[in-house]
Amino acid sequence: MRALVVYESMYGNTHRVAEVIGLGLRQFGESNVVPVDEATPELLDGVDLLVAGGPTHAHGMSRPTTRRSAAEAVSKPGTDLSLDLDWAGDGIREWLESLDEGGGTSSAAFDTRIGIPPMLSGRASKGIAKMFRQHGFELVVEPESFLVTYDNHLKPGEEAHAYRWAEELASALSRTHPSMPR
Protein backbone atom coordinates (compact mmCIF):
# COMPACT_ATOMS: atom_id res chain seq x y z
CA MET A 1 0.00 0.00 0.00
CA ARG A 2 1.16 3.52 -0.79
CA ALA A 3 -0.52 6.31 1.19
CA LEU A 4 -0.23 10.08 1.11
CA VAL A 5 -1.45 12.20 4.02
CA VAL A 6 -1.97 15.89 3.16
CA TYR A 7 -2.70 18.41 5.89
CA GLU A 8 -3.35 22.08 6.57
CA SER A 9 -2.47 23.26 10.06
CA MET A 10 -2.49 26.61 11.81
CA TYR A 11 -1.38 25.84 15.38
CA GLY A 12 0.17 22.40 14.89
CA ASN A 13 -2.73 20.20 16.02
CA THR A 14 -3.75 19.02 12.55
CA HIS A 15 -0.09 18.61 11.65
CA ARG A 16 0.43 16.34 14.67
CA VAL A 17 -2.68 14.28 13.88
CA ALA A 18 -1.49 13.88 10.26
CA GLU A 19 1.95 12.70 11.46
CA VAL A 20 0.37 10.09 13.74
CA ILE A 21 -1.96 8.89 10.96
CA GLY A 22 1.07 8.55 8.70
CA LEU A 23 2.91 6.61 11.39
CA GLY A 24 -0.05 4.26 11.82
CA LEU A 25 -0.30 3.69 8.06
CA ARG A 26 3.43 2.83 7.83
CA GLN A 27 2.63 -0.53 9.45
CA PHE A 28 0.93 -1.46 6.19
CA GLY A 29 3.24 0.05 3.58
CA GLU A 30 4.71 3.33 2.42
CA SER A 31 3.20 6.49 3.89
CA ASN A 32 4.22 10.09 3.24
CA VAL A 33 2.92 13.09 5.19
CA VAL A 34 3.10 16.54 3.59
CA PRO A 35 1.68 20.01 4.18
CA VAL A 36 -0.83 21.11 1.58
CA ASP A 37 1.68 23.42 -0.15
CA GLU A 38 3.96 20.45 -0.85
CA ALA A 39 1.21 18.14 -2.15
CA THR A 40 2.16 18.24 -5.83
CA PRO A 41 0.39 16.22 -8.52
CA GLU A 42 3.53 14.08 -8.86
CA LEU A 43 3.18 12.93 -5.24
CA LEU A 44 -0.29 11.61 -6.01
CA ASP A 45 0.94 9.34 -8.82
CA GLY A 46 0.50 5.71 -7.80
CA VAL A 47 -1.12 6.49 -4.44
CA ASP A 48 -3.49 3.79 -3.19
CA LEU A 49 -4.90 5.94 -0.38
CA LEU A 50 -5.11 9.74 -0.22
CA VAL A 51 -5.88 11.14 3.23
CA ALA A 52 -6.52 14.87 3.69
CA GLY A 53 -7.27 16.94 6.75
CA GLY A 54 -7.51 20.45 8.03
CA PRO A 55 -8.74 22.53 10.94
CA THR A 56 -12.39 23.44 11.26
CA HIS A 57 -12.85 27.21 10.88
CA ALA A 58 -16.27 28.88 10.96
CA HIS A 59 -18.12 25.55 10.66
CA GLY A 60 -16.10 24.16 7.74
CA MET A 61 -12.84 24.26 5.85
CA SER A 62 -10.67 27.32 6.30
CA ARG A 63 -10.75 30.26 3.92
CA PRO A 64 -8.15 32.99 3.41
CA THR A 65 -10.04 35.25 5.84
CA THR A 66 -10.29 32.63 8.60
CA ARG A 67 -6.60 31.75 8.18
CA ARG A 68 -5.69 35.44 8.59
CA SER A 69 -7.83 35.65 11.73
CA ALA A 70 -6.22 32.52 13.15
CA ALA A 71 -2.76 33.91 12.42
CA GLU A 72 -3.65 37.19 14.14
CA ALA A 73 -4.85 35.30 17.24
CA VAL A 74 -1.28 34.34 18.20
CA SER A 75 -0.42 37.98 18.91
CA LYS A 76 -3.27 38.51 21.37
CA PRO A 77 -2.21 39.06 24.99
CA GLY A 78 -2.38 35.98 27.20
CA THR A 79 -2.30 33.41 24.40
CA ASP A 80 0.18 30.56 24.34
CA LEU A 81 -0.56 29.76 20.68
CA SER A 82 2.13 29.62 18.05
CA LEU A 83 1.80 29.14 14.33
CA ASP A 84 2.69 25.85 12.68
CA LEU A 85 5.77 26.14 10.46
CA ASP A 86 3.62 25.33 7.41
CA TRP A 87 0.65 27.59 8.19
CA ALA A 88 1.07 30.10 5.36
CA GLY A 89 -0.19 29.67 1.82
CA ASP A 90 -3.23 28.00 0.39
CA GLY A 91 -5.43 25.80 2.50
CA ILE A 92 -6.93 22.39 1.96
CA ARG A 93 -9.99 23.90 0.25
CA GLU A 94 -7.92 25.52 -2.49
CA TRP A 95 -5.82 22.39 -2.91
CA LEU A 96 -8.90 20.20 -3.27
CA GLU A 97 -10.38 22.60 -5.83
CA SER A 98 -7.24 22.17 -7.94
CA LEU A 99 -7.19 18.35 -7.83
CA ASP A 100 -7.43 16.37 -11.02
CA GLU A 101 -10.05 13.64 -11.40
CA GLY A 102 -9.39 10.92 -8.82
CA GLY A 103 -10.39 8.00 -10.99
CA GLY A 104 -11.76 6.08 -8.02
CA THR A 105 -8.62 6.41 -5.88
CA SER A 106 -9.39 5.57 -2.26
CA SER A 107 -9.52 8.52 0.10
CA ALA A 108 -10.30 9.56 3.66
CA ALA A 109 -10.99 12.93 5.30
CA PHE A 110 -10.27 14.21 8.79
CA ASP A 111 -10.37 17.46 10.71
CA THR A 112 -9.53 19.00 14.02
CA ARG A 113 -12.24 20.87 15.84
CA ILE A 114 -13.31 22.11 19.25
CA GLY A 115 -14.69 19.28 21.40
CA ILE A 116 -18.35 20.33 21.25
CA PRO A 117 -21.20 18.75 19.27
CA PRO A 118 -20.48 18.99 15.53
CA MET A 119 -23.82 20.71 15.04
CA LEU A 120 -22.30 23.68 16.88
CA SER A 121 -18.69 23.51 15.66
CA GLY A 122 -19.13 22.24 12.13
CA ARG A 123 -16.72 19.74 10.59
CA ALA A 124 -14.15 20.53 7.92
CA SER A 125 -13.89 16.79 7.22
CA LYS A 126 -17.40 16.70 5.78
CA GLY A 127 -16.48 19.37 3.23
CA ILE A 128 -13.22 17.58 2.42
CA ALA A 129 -15.11 14.33 1.86
CA LYS A 130 -17.66 16.08 -0.36
CA MET A 131 -14.91 17.59 -2.50
CA PHE A 132 -13.16 14.21 -2.74
CA ARG A 133 -16.39 12.67 -4.07
CA GLN A 134 -16.87 15.56 -6.52
CA HIS A 135 -13.40 14.86 -7.91
CA GLY A 136 -14.04 11.12 -8.35
CA PHE A 137 -12.29 9.81 -5.25
CA GLU A 138 -13.82 6.92 -3.29
CA LEU A 139 -14.13 7.33 0.48
CA VAL A 140 -13.12 4.19 2.36
CA VAL A 141 -14.45 5.39 5.75
CA GLU A 142 -16.65 8.17 7.04
CA PRO A 143 -14.95 11.51 7.81
CA GLU A 144 -13.29 11.67 11.22
CA SER A 145 -12.78 14.47 13.74
CA PHE A 146 -9.99 14.88 16.27
CA LEU A 147 -10.78 17.16 19.17
CA VAL A 148 -8.98 20.18 20.56
CA THR A 149 -9.53 22.13 23.74
CA TYR A 150 -10.91 25.66 23.88
CA ASP A 151 -7.34 26.94 24.15
CA ASN A 152 -6.44 25.03 20.97
CA HIS A 153 -4.44 22.03 22.15
CA LEU A 154 -5.15 18.41 21.27
CA LYS A 155 -7.32 16.76 23.88
CA PRO A 156 -5.71 13.88 25.76
CA GLY A 157 -6.09 10.59 23.88
CA GLU A 158 -6.44 12.15 20.42
CA GLU A 159 -3.03 10.97 19.23
CA ALA A 160 -3.99 7.38 20.13
CA HIS A 161 -7.33 7.99 18.39
CA ALA A 162 -5.44 9.06 15.22
CA TYR A 163 -3.27 5.94 15.32
CA ARG A 164 -6.31 3.67 15.69
CA TRP A 165 -8.03 5.53 12.83
CA ALA A 166 -5.01 4.87 10.59
CA GLU A 167 -5.35 1.17 11.35
CA GLU A 168 -9.06 1.41 10.50
CA LEU A 169 -8.16 3.08 7.18
CA ALA A 170 -5.78 0.28 6.26
CA SER A 171 -8.35 -2.34 7.20
CA ALA A 172 -11.07 -0.60 5.15
CA LEU A 173 -8.71 -0.31 2.19
CA SER A 174 -7.89 -4.02 2.36
CA ARG A 175 -11.63 -4.82 2.32
CA THR A 176 -12.26 -2.70 -0.76
CA HIS A 177 -8.99 -3.77 -2.41
CA PRO A 178 -8.34 -7.40 -1.35
CA SER A 179 -4.84 -7.41 -2.89
CA MET A 180 -3.70 -4.78 -0.35
CA PRO A 181 -1.73 -6.06 2.66
CA ARG A 182 -3.44 -6.01 6.05
In a domain, 181, yes or no: no
Q: What is the pLDDT of residue 180?
A: 54
The parent domain of residue 102 ranges over: 2-176
Give residue-wise pLDDT tens across range 139-170.
Answer: 999 999 999 999 899 999 999 999 999 999 99
Query: What is the domain-level CATH number for residue 76?
Result: 3.40.50.360
In a domain, 162, yes or no: yes
| pTM of structure | 0.94
In a domain, 182, yes or no: no
Give residue-wise pLDDT tens across range 12-25.
Answer: 999 999 999 999 99
Number of structural domains in the chain: 1
Q: What is the pLDDT of residue 107?
A: 97
In order of 12, 70, 123, 148, the CA distances from 75 in angstroms are: 16, 10, 26, 20
Give residue-wise pLDDT tens across range 27-75.
Answer: 999 999 999 999 999 999 999 999 999 999 999 999 988 988 989 998 8
In a domain, 56, yes or no: yes
In a domain, 112, yes or no: yes
In a domain, 100, yes or no: yes
